């Protein structure tokens, strides 16, 4: 990653490599206890990146289209379905063979903000930290095959951050108001779950406060619920069912209803043929999601309203419930869950990211296969384990400070009459 060129009024911002050098001198990036906090952080970052790269190859294809072209995508070394299209239709991008999307790059940006601030984050850290990372920090963008600002690559709902926080200087807590309601904030929220490992409600609260600068309605809710699920996944002995129960416990409105509905369907279909599972899941989620199979934005859709622009308490982004569903039908198996999730079609990279981010810490670093890690590092010009270790060290520091604060609170309460 390139050094950050912009400085704050008080101190230089530090990227993850600088943070790693300062915080973890001599730390090996080759070995660690697979089920230690460090090992679980590594698995979370790897899981998200693997799901992202695997799903990016087939994003926006239907389940049937994926079957017709690929059979089933099961590994990273495959070509993108748009690869033979002209550059205009591809928006000048390349994918396939391990290339990740902005979902993983935004996750790395969030980890970098944590490494800079070394504390819990809120909406102001989007307005300051994420904006500096996205708009003013050059980095290698794999899909564009060059170094530039991440802002140039982002989807429109994420470009909204620049418009709201830099161009209009809004109250950071109101930054998400008016944005397209989508899963954009949820896609990079996993580090908040790691910082709050073992405390899902705290993860939910921090994620909601932070992501209110980015999303609203059920798009914001998805970020909070996923952060809670990740926090739960770090607890030793946790199962997929435990993670799902935590998600249901913290969720509200359509998000809660959609998760419950998909989970019920998933538990009834364990062992069923995969195609039948996909059909059933899409049938169930249709009540809560406007998406459907046609998720390309075309000229014919200009000016046509949808549920995405009419937030309702009965709506939910579909990626999060589906991620839980495929984890259940695969009984929590890491690779099987991700593979089934992305091959179901539609917003495939997002589904893959979500599954990887909560199943990674559940299993720990033992799920990291060298061939996949090497391809991800090579294709994207980064070092996932170094990034994970730098962030994990800072997360531990924040957790230690939390424990001190909790002790003070308990001592104060003991003195109350």
What is the CATH number for 96?
1.10.4080.10
Question: At residue 332, what are phi and psi to the nearest 5 degrees?
Answer: 80, 5
Pairwise CA distance, residues 62 & 248, whole Å: 28
161 in a structural domain: yes
At 211-259, the pLDDT tens digits run 999 999 999 999 999 999 999 999 999 999 999 999 999 999 999 999 9
Q: What is the pLDDT of residue 18?
A: 55
Output the pTM of the full model. Answer: 0.91
Is residue 137 a contact partner of residue 113, using CB atoms and an 8 Å limit? no
342 in a structural domain: yes
313 in a structural domain: yes
Is residue 15 a contact partner of residue 133, using CB atoms and an 8 Å limit? no
CB-based contacts of 98: which residues, under 8 Å, 6+ apart? Answer: 53, 76, 77, 372, 375, 376, 378, 379, 380
Pairwise CA distance, residues 356 & 254, whole Å: 23
Three-state DSSP class for 345?
A: strand
353 in a structural domain: yes
4 in a structural domain: no
Q: What is the pLDDT of residue 304?
A: 63
- Report the binding-site residues: 101-103, 347, 349-350
Three-state DSSP class for 397?
A: helix
Q: Would you mind telling me the total number of residues written for the chain in this entry?
A: 417
Three-state DSSP class for 140?
A: strand
9 in a structural domain: no
HEC string for 84-131: CCCCCCCCCCCCECCCCCHHHHHHHHHHHHHHHHCCCCCHHHHHHHHH
Binned at pLDDT 50, 70 and 90, residue 209 comes out as very high
6 in a structural domain: no
What is the total count of domains within the chain? Answer: 1
Q: Which of 45, 43, 195 is nearest to 115 (CA)?
A: 195
**DSSP for 174-187?**
GTTTTS--SSTTGG
Q: Which domain holds residue 48?
A: 16-20+33-296+307-414
Pairwise CA distance, residues 405 & 28, whole Å: 31
Please say whether the dihedral angle defined by the alpha carbons of residues 115, 119, 122 and 125, taken in this order, is positive or negative: negative
Of 70-84, 120-134, 298-312, 333-347, where does mean pLDDT reach its minimum? Answer: 298-312
- Report the binding-site residues for Mg(2+): 101-103, 347, 349-350
314 in a structural domain: yes
Binned at pLDDT 50, 70 and 90, residue 88 comes out as confident
């Amino acid at each position: 990653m390139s050094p950050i060129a912009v400085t704050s009024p008080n101190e230089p911002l530090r990227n993850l490599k600088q943070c790693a050098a300062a915080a973890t001198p001599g730390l090996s990036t080759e070995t660690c206890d697979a089920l230690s906090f460090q090992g679980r952080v590594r698995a979370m970052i790897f899981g998200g990146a693997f799901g992202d790269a695997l799903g990016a190859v087939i994003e926006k294809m239907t389940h049937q289209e994926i079957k017709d072209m690929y059979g089933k995508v099961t590994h990273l070394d495959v070509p993108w379905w748009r690869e033979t299209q002209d550059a205009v239709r591809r928006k000048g991008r390349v994918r396939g063979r391990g290339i990740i999307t902005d979902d993983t790059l935004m996750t790395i940006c969030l980890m970098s903000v944590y490494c800079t601030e070394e504390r819990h984050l809120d909406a102001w850290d989007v307005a300051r930290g994420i904006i500096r990372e996205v708009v003013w920090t050059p980095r290698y963008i794999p899909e564009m095959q060059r170094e530039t600002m991440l802002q140039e690559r982002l989807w429109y709902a994420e470009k909204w951050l620049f418009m709201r926080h830099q161009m209009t200087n809004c109250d950071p807590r109101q930054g998400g108001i008016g944005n397209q309601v989508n899963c954009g904030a949820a896609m990079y929220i996993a580090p908040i779950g790691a910082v709050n490992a073992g405390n899902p409600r705290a993860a939910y609260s921090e994620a909601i406060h932070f992501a209110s600068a980015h999303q609203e309605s059920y798009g914001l809710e998805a970020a909070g619920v996923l952060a809670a699920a990740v926090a739960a996944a770090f607890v030793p002995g946790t199962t997929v069912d435990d993670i799902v129960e935590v998600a249901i416990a913290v969720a509200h409105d359509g998000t809660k209803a959609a998760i419950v509905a998909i989970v019920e369907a998933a538990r009834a279909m364990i062992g069923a043929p995969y195609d039948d599972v996909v059909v059933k899941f899409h049938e169930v989620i249709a009540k809560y999601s406007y998406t459907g199979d046609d998720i390309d934005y075309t000229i014919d859709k200009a000016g046509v309203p949808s549920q995405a622009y009419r937030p309702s308490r009965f709506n939910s982004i579909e990626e999060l419930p589906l991620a839980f569903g495929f984890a259940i039908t695969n009984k929590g198996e890491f690779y099987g869950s991700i593979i089934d999730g992305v091959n179901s079609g539609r917003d495939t990279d997002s589904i893959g990211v979500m599954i990887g981010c909560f199943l990674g810490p559940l299993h720990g670093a033992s799920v990291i296969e060298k061939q996949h890690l090497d391809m991800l590092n090579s294709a994207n010009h980064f070092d996932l384990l170094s990034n994970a270790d730098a962030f994990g060290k800072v997360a531990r520091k924040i957790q230690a400070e939390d424990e001190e604060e909790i002790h003070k609170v308990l001592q104060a309460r003991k003195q109350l009459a």
